[in-house]
Chain A
Amino acid sequence: MDFAEYPDRAAIRDTVAAITRSFGSSYYSAHAEGRIATDELWAALAKQGFVGINLPERFGGGGAGLAELALVCEETAAQGCPMLLLLVSSAISGEVIARYGSEAQQQTWLPQLASGETRIVFAITEPDAGSNTHQLSTTAVRDGEEWLLSGTKYYISGVDGAGAILVVARTGTDAQTGHGLLSLFLVPPDAPGLTAQPLPVAAALPEQQFTLFFDGVRVGADQLVGDENDGFTQVFHGLNPERITGAAICVGIGRYALARASAYARERDVWGVPIGAHQGVSHPLAKAAIEVELAALMTAKAAWLHDHGQPAGEASNMAKYAAAEAALAAVDAAIQTHGGNGLSAEYGLVPLWSVARLLRIAPVNREMILNYVAGHTLGLPRSY
């Protein structure tokens, strides 16, 4: 076992941190408050090869793995700028297209993803099918060599500024189980018959959420990703990367919140000593620091397993659970440490709380992870 931080990992961390620091946490807070995409930071990271770090080299990517993409997610967040769309565009869409996309799809999309020119967002969630993917009701019906897509998706992040949407749709029904058979399609956001309606969320995020209405959207065979009816396997391939990068963002948020809170608690003096000397302040921060560090270890393990082609489901779920809980604990303790300043726009902690709180729900919620661990790890029966 080797826990050494290799020089190239340290260099990735340092460089991503330096690029992000040149924007700063106030850049993120202002964009979150204004619901404005953090495109400038995205472009700056992409220019140095960090957005497409996990994509194949022959398409302009870095040829590295999830472990390296996770570092990018963690370090941007650790500078106060969590980049949620890395999880969507680089982790899910990038991994799925690199693995299952046709040569033409890869040639069209991967270089653009790597260069940061465009993003591909992911549309799976529906109003009547949340965590239960088998209930998806968006359908793609065969019409000769093409399909007609109909249905509704919601809570789809970052449709504005996306070159394509990777849409999960039902293309058939398994005769034995009655479960839907799924397929993946690449759909341009301006496709005729597709309406994208902003879905207002109270959480301040730079990434806008959308409801997508598909009304007989025509898609050709060249837009089908991988094999027809094989969508469940393909989606599954994107789930672990999504969880690992989500965990990494949380670890970064936790580190940022703790750094800000400890700096404040070392300086702020109310009764003659810095408030950090009081255990009521220091212990929640220390506890969160332990939790963040443990989550970081599990995230690294999950990324390692994924990159080595080993089953990573359990580790990815555990990492995502632990990291979201740790980030929330850290941000909450940081807000409490700051007192009233914790809620101020100036200190920028509330937008990070929003992201951490979102990541307790998405891409898979805390309860579904507990169900997974109960069922898979402990062999307990299911209630559903």
Chain B
Amino acid sequence: MNIVVCVKQVPDTWAERTLRPEDSRLDRASVDGVINELDEYAIEEGLRLAEAHEGEVTILTMGPDKASESIRKALSMGADKAVHVIDDGLAGSDALQTSAVLAQVLGRIGFDLVILGAESTDARMGVMAAMLAERLGVPQVSLASKVEVDGTALRIHRQRDYGYDKVEASLPAVISVVEKINEPRYPSFKGIMAAKKKPVETVTLADTGLDAGQVGLAAAATEVVSFANRPPRQAGTVVKDEGDGGTKAAEFLAGQKFI
């Protein structure tokens, strides 16, 4: 089984993240880059499926030179090879443009299954799986908390507020995963050393066959018009226990959809 996991490098989720005033783009230079958290779950699921079905896992990343750190980590976790789409002309691309680029590359390298994290911690659009599936003309099965593959049959549990739905599709397909699906592994020392020797193919904008005028900030379909800093944190809700504290706390949690 040929599995491709799409990985995005994002600014460290725990660091202070800011937008650049000059072009309203995320300031990626001043913070460490890490693999988008949900993409680690996607990698793990890819590795598990590959182990169970004698498959191969390819990592697909679009990003600047720095994104090679994330590729390396994915390879050290056990992925077999990687494709790095890197081109200055892609800087500032929005989700639509990114999906166009990734779909072109996916079409060329071929796949049985494409796996993505359900959303990234930076843009938080959560649309890439849908866009890719649409462009590639294959089913999208989203928000998977469990994945089973049997021949070309694909069955997932889709995470819902009330539990899960069982969703079936056939391969080839695109899956997005949620964090409930597994526990991503740590790289092993041997994995770290092996990652150095694994093939990483570099793909430029010209290689994708897309026109330079279609991608990048200037041609983006979406635009950040303005932004404001998050307001300071509000005071918390105090539940005073008058014999019904438990009920009130439960009501609060239910109101916030925590339970």
- Please list the residues of chain A having a beta carbon within 8 angstroms of any beta carbon in chain B: 7-8, 11-12, 14-15, 18-19, 47-50, 53, 62, 64, 68
Nearest-CB residue, chain A, relative to B32: A14
CB interface residues, B 186-202, toward A, < 8 Å: 186-190, 192-193, 195-196
Q: Which residues of B contact A49 (CB under 8 A)?
A: 188-190
Residues from chain B with Cβ under 8 Å of A48 in the complex: 186-189
> In the complex the two chains form, is B186's CB within 8 Å of A11's CB?
no
- Return B190 CB to nearest CB of chain A, in Å: 6
Is B69's CB within 8 Å of the partner chain A?
yes
Main SS of chain A's interface residues? helix
Q: Report if B72 contacts A (CB, 8 A).
A: yes
Q: How many residues of B contact A (CB 8 A)?
A: 13
Quick check: B189 and A19 within 8 Å, CB to CB? no
Q: Mark B77-95, 1 if CB is under 8 A from A, else 0.
A: 0000000000000000000
A-B contact pairs, 29 of them (CB 8 A): A7-B69, A7-B72, A8-B192, A8-B196, A11-B73, A11-B76, A11-B192, A11-B195, A12-B189, A12-B192, A14-B73, A15-B76, A15-B186, A15-B187, A15-B189, A15-B192, A18-B186, A19-B186, A48-B186, A48-B187, A48-B188, A49-B188, A49-B190, A50-B189, A62-B189, A62-B190, A62-B193, A64-B189, A64-B193
Give A52's nearest chain B residue, CB to CB. Answer: B189
The list of the 6 closest CB pairs from A to B, nearest first, reads A49-B189, A48-B188, A11-B192, A62-B189, A49-B188, A15-B187
Q: Distance (Å) between the CB of B68 and the closest chain A CB?
A: 9
CA distance A76 to B192 in the complex (A): 18
Instruction: Report the Cα distance A50→B190, complex, angstroms.
Output: 9
Interface residues of B in 57-109 (CB under 8 A from A): 69, 72-73, 76
A-contact 0/1 string along B36-75, CB 8 Å cutoff = 0000000000000000000000000000000001001100
A-B contact count (CB 8 A): 38
Q: Report Cα–Cα, A53/B188, bound state, in Å.
A: 10
Q: How far is the CA of A8 from the CA of B187 in the complex (A)?
A: 11
B192 to A, closest residue via Cβ: A11
Task: Assess the B72–A53 pair: CB atoms within 8 A.
Answer: no
Collect the chain A residues with CB atoms within 8 Å of residue B189's CB: 12, 15, 48-50, 53, 62, 64, 68
Distance from B109 Cβ to chain A, minimum over Cβ atoms (Å): 25
B35 to chain A, nearest CB (A): 11
Residue ranges of B at the interface with A (Cβ–Cβ < 8 Å) = 69, 72-73, 76, 186-190, 192-193, 195-196
Bound form: Cα–Cα A19–B189 in Å: 12
Determine the chain A residues whose CB is within 8 A of the CB of B190 once the complex forms: 49, 62
B201 nearest CB across to chain A (Å): 18
State how many angstroms separate the Cβ of A10 from the closest Cβ of chain B.
8
**What residues of A have a CB within 8 angstroms of the CB of B76 in the complex?**
11, 15
A7 to B192, CA, bound (A): 9
- The distance from the CB of A273 to the nearest CB of chain B, in whole angstroms, is 20
Residue of A nearest to B193 (CB): A8
Specify which chain B residues have a CB less than 8 angstroms from the CB of A62 in the assembled complex.
189-190, 193
Q: How far is the CA of A49 from the CA of B188 in the complex (A)?
A: 6
Please give the distance in Å from A172's CB to the nearest CB on chain B.
41
- In the docked arrangement, what's the CA distance between A50 and B191, Å? 11
- Shortest Cβ distance from A10 into B: residue: B69
Name the A residues within 8 Å of B187 (CB-CB).
Answer: 11, 15, 48
Could you say which residues of chain B place their CB within 8 Å of the CB of A12? Answer: 189, 192
Q: Write the nearest CB–CB distance from A53 to chain B, whole angstroms.
A: 5
The answer for the CA separation of A68 and B189 in the assembled complex, in Å, is 10
How far apart are the CA atoms of A64 and B76 in the complex, in Å?
16
Nearest-neighbor residue (CB-CB) of A72 within chain B = B189
**Least Cβ–Cβ distance between A7 and chain B, in angstroms:** 6
For the complex, give the distance between the alpha carbons of A8 and B190 in Å. Answer: 11
Complex Cα–Cα for A48 and B188 (A): 4
Which residues in A have their C-beta under 8 angstroms from that of B193?
8, 62, 64
Chain A residue numbers with a CB within 8 Å of B195 are 11
Shortest Cβ gap from B41 to chain A (Å)? 15
Residues of B within 8 A of A8 (CB): 192-193, 196
Contact: B188 with A11, CB < 8 Å? no
Highest count of chain A CB atoms <10 Å: which of B69, B187, B189, B193: B189
Please give 5 more A-B residue pairs, beta carbons under 8 A apart, in addition to A7-B196, A15-B189: A11-B72, A47-B188, A48-B189, A50-B189, A62-B189
Closest A residue by C-beta to B69: A7
Q: How far apart are A24's CB and chain B's nearest CB, in angstroms?
A: 14
Residue numbers in A under 8 Å from B69 (CB-CB):
7
Q: Residues of A contacting B196 with CB < 8 Å?
A: 7-8
Residue of B nearest to A44 (CB): B186
Shortest CB–CB separation between residue A361 and chain B, in angstroms?
Answer: 31
Inter-chain contacts of B72 with A (CB < 8 A): 7, 11
**Most chain A beta carbons < 10 A, residue from B72, B186, B195:** B186
| Smallest beta-carbon distance B69→chain A, Å | 7
Q: Which residues of A contact B192 (CB under 8 A)?
A: 8, 11-12, 15
- Complex interface: chain B residues within 8 A of A7 (CB): 69, 72, 196
Question: A83 to B232, alpha carbons, bound, how many Å?
Answer: 41
